[in-house]
């Protein structure tokens, strides 16, 4: 990836207001993307730690614990958080549209009490 494209993506991610439809959408995609990267990298095997068994045969291994926590965090993030953020993004877009049009309507309504 070209450095310019990288800069463009990171700017889009970090400069977007988190409390906006796009902010929710981008964060949902980010969680999903990181999870897919971890999965492709082969970290799925570390999920075995959930059953109390070390996937590498060493229950004391700190590295195993870190990989397992990281993978599971992003797995459950992708399953639970990503859909919530995506649904919230749609709801927020509708909410903003409705409040914007209401305020526009209010500003367009002539103030009858004002003296002519």
Partner 1 sequence: MKLLKRIALAMISLIIAAAIWLPTMHLVFVPNLNLYYTKSGVSPKARKLAARHVNLWTSPQLAEAEIAKMRSSNAEWDFMGRTFLVLALCNMSLADPNCADKHLEIVDKIIDNTISLESKFGIHHFLMPYSKNRPFICKPPRSIFLDGEIALMIAARQMVRPKASYEPVLKELVDTMITYMEKSPVLSGESYPDECWTFCNSVALATITISDVLDGRDHSDFCRRWIETAKKRLLDKETGLLVSSYDFYGYPNDGPEGSTIWMVSHCLLFVDEDFAKDQYARAKKELAGDFLGFGFAREWPASWKGPLDIDSGPVLPILHVSPSSSGLAFIAASAFDDKTFLAKLLTTLNMGALPTEDDETLVYSSCSQVGEAVIFYSMTFGPLLEKVKQLKANHKSETEI
- Pull the structure tokens for residue 35: 């999870």
Binding letters toward partner 1, positions 15-54, x by CB under 8 A: --xxxx---x-------------------xx-xxxxxxxx
Q: How many residues bind partner 1 (CB under 8 A)?
A: 37
CB atoms inside a 10 Å sphere around CB 37 = 11
58 scored as a contact of partner 1 (CB under 8 A): yes
Nearer to partner 1, 10 or 83 (CB): 83
106 scored as a contact of partner 1 (CB under 8 A): no
Applying CB under 8 A, among 7, 10, 91, 102 the residue interacting with partner 1 is: 91
Nearer to partner 1, 10 or 100 (CB): 100
Chain residues that interact with partner 1, rule: CB under 8 A? 17-20, 24, 44-45, 47-59, 75, 79-80, 83-89, 91-92, 95-96, 99-100, 103
């Amino acid at each position: 990836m070209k450095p310019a494209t990288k800069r463009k993506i990171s700017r889009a991610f970090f400069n977007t207001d988190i409390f906006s439809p796009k902010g929710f959408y981008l964060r949902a995609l980010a969680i999903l993307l990181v999870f897919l990267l971890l999965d492709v990298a082969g970290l799925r095997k570390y999920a075995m730690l959930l059953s109390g068994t070390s996937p590498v045969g060493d229950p004391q291994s700190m590295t195993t614990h870190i990989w397992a926590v990281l993978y599971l965090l992003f797995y459950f993030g992708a399953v639970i958080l990503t859909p919530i953020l995506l649904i919230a993004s749609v709801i927020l877009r509708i909410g903003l549209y409705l409040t914007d049009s209401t305020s526009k309507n209010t500003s367009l309504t002539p103030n009858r009490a004002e003296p002519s």
